[in-house]
Amino acid sequence: MSTNQFVDSVSEFERWKNSIARELRGFRLWLRRNQLSDDQSDLRIKQILDTLGTEYLTIAFAGEFSRGKTELINAIFFSDFGQRILPSQAGRTTMCPTELFYDQHVKANYLRLLPIETRLQDTPLSDYRNMTNHWVEIPLVTNEAEEMAQAMHSITQTKSVSRKEAIELGFDASMLDEDEDNPEKVEIPAWRHALVSFAHPLLQQGLRIVDTPGLNALGSEPELTYQLLPQAQAVVFVLAADAGVTASDLQIWEDHIEQLKTRPNLGLYAVLNKIDVLWDELSGRKKTEKAINRVVRQTARHLKIPEDDILPVSAQKALLGRVRDDKSLLLRSQIEELENVLSNTILGNKEAVMWESIIGETTRMIEDAQGVLKSRKEKIDKQQDEIKSIRGSTESELQKLVEKSRIAQAEFKKRQLALKPSQRLLERQTEVLLDVIGKEPLDEAIQRTLHEMVESKTSVGMLRTSRRFLQAIEAMMNEFCREAELTNKMAESMYVKFSRDFDVELLEARYLKAKIYRRQLQHILDESTQVNRNLILTLSEQSLAIKRFFATTVNQVLVFYKQLRNDVRQWSKEIMLPLRQQVNSLKDLLESNHQQLLALQYNEATVEGRLKALNTLVFELETEIHNSEQSLEKLRKKAPSKSSSNVVELAHARR
């Protein structure tokens, strides 16, 4: 492997995930050991462990064709092969979006290519991922660089079609090359998408690389803008230093990239590639640096981003320097500076995302279970005091204690039953929530929008219809937030009642955080507005404009609300878990206490013997509580530092 910063960062990410997985597996055993485990908690921990095992660190490269994106990927990641693995020569090479990763599920090397004709179907690109019968698979021999390079060359394949066919497939025909043998036809990519899985050490540890073609691909494959790029922890927008920011560069930036600046935990950088074109041995290094700095300033002005987020580099010289082991050339290429910034960014951002979701949930599960043990210990302390008071008691006094214990058990059952109405009320309110964001109201809005779009006679009319659809979706979210607030109040009321009725410390209700979902939806709607305008105003055929609108905005909204419904169902199960754990623990304690008193009544046990057993139990509980504290402490230490997820600070750190 090349000894660059990516190796260290990806290895650190792998260690970070593994250490969290160890704590989770330990916590699962801890739950079972303390009789706090059930099917729901077991399933949730398994889901979290599965997620940890398949999480990727993603870096995406975007920009117009012939800017050197693929060469940059070769230089950073694949120089150890001693040649270019991804096709990279003059002109257009990456004809379709390409993802490089290691498939953790099948653990196999493959190159899968999705035919361009699948664009004629309404099926979203994301759905095709699991439909392997639609892909063409090419064997990938990863231990032979030449054979692998040949297989990868398949990505560049094109086909000749009429302009009408190209338009039907979503391309802007004016941006396509004519077929040299038949000027009546144009060349289009043969493939819509490429998935490359191979056992490269960095990829095996969770790195995923996304290589995108130029403007025509981003414009005709909106899912790239909506899903693939926003999923990355870093997006690299590649420009040519000798050309600066061209009109097509600016169009890609404004239409597809710029909005990513508002995405949390996503680092956005512009890379000025091909700085070797500005190298001038006659003028000297200082004049060359001034020329490069001038282009950096101009680029910052055009893209409206800080100069520190623009990184000059020569991918070609970096690759050559690594292949030839020329340290001087490698240093001058400035590739290592870029690697340091990107590796820190993707690591910090990914850890921040995972901390907010997976790890945050895990710590809450541990805190809830820990609360059960603390309540259990308090009850046992009271039992000890009661047992001590038995010393010297008469048989009738002992009988009264047994009767008191029996009454306590009966009262406990009544309190259990009294909890049911609150639980049913919360379940009904959860159903109300699900109805608000259900499939039926969504389908109604979609069908109404489709009808109005078909009836629209002008682009302006279609734009108005698209805006009305977005307003309807926003109104649905507003109603969801209102109902979620009511749901949270019900949950809080149930927790307060539980604490009062069962005489335990007040538990913290796990609220449904509707505002987070509102922000996520707002990102989708904000990004949709510009993309929809571009699609509707630039596509001359109404049917194609409608198809693209539904493939982008509508599909994104459907995916979002489907996930939201799943999250609400998951929340409704998790909200009851701490209460179930407390109830089961208290029930066991009451039963145990009753049996102890019966044993004392019938001289089957002594007071001293029972006290000794309770002391042992208290010691075991204190040990288990201490163990849970240690687990929490270890997880809290794994939280990303503030600076590690701050893109601006990382950018400055390279200076």
Q: What is the pLDDT of residues 209-241, one digit of tens each?
A: 998 887 655 556 767 766 788 888 899 999 999
What is the number of structural domains in the chain?
A: 3
Q: What angle do CA 487, 488, 491 make, to 5 degrees?
A: 90
User: Taking the CA of residue 521 as centre, how many other CA atoms within 13 Å lie in the half-sphere pointing to its CB?
Assistant: 26
pLDDT of residue 642: 45
In a domain, 347, yes or no: no
Same domain, 592 and 623: no
Same domain, 509 and 596: yes
Nearest to 155 by CA among 110, 94, 101: 94
Output the six-digit token pair for 308: 């520190």
pLDDT of residue 641: 53
Same domain, 49 and 140: no
Nearest to 601 by CA among 393, 389, 398: 398
In a domain, 592, yes or no: yes
Same domain, 37 and 154: no
Report CA-CA distances (Å) from 293 to 275, 283, 297, 306, 426.
11, 15, 6, 13, 61
Same domain, 240 and 106: yes
- With left for phi above 0 and alpha for psi between -120 and 50, is residue 206 left, alpha or beta? left
Nearest to 265 by CA among 219, 237, 305, 232: 232
The DSSP string of 284-350 is -HHHHHHHHHHHHHHHHHHHTS-GGGEEE--HHHHHHHHHTT-HHHHHHHTHHHHHHHHHHHHHHHH
In a domain, 418, yes or no: yes
Same domain, 405 and 499: yes
In a domain, 296, yes or no: yes
In a domain, 650, yes or no: no
Nearest to 366 by CA among 48, 115, 640, 592: 48
Structural domain boundaries, residue 404: 392-605
pLDDT of residue 530: 63
Same domain, 376 and 429: no
Same domain, 419 and 313: no
Give the C-alpha separation, 421 to 448, whole Å.
Answer: 39
In a domain, 649, yes or no: no
What is the 3-state composition of the chain as percent helix, strand, coil, each rounded to the nearest 5?
A: 70, 10, 20
pLDDT of residue 610: 81
CB 561 within 8 A of CB 477: no
CB 230 within 8 A of CB 556: no
pTM of the predicted structure, to 2 decimals: 0.76
In a domain, 544, yes or no: yes
In a domain, 651, yes or no: no
Residues (pLDDT < 50) of the chain are 1-3, 642-655
Same domain, 181 and 171: yes
Same domain, 24 and 61: no
Same domain, 479 and 586: yes
Output the six-digit token pair for 512: 């449904």
Question: Looking at residue 260, which CATH number applies to its domain?
Answer: 3.40.50.300
Same domain, 146 and 13: no
Neighbours of 292 (CB within 10 A): 17
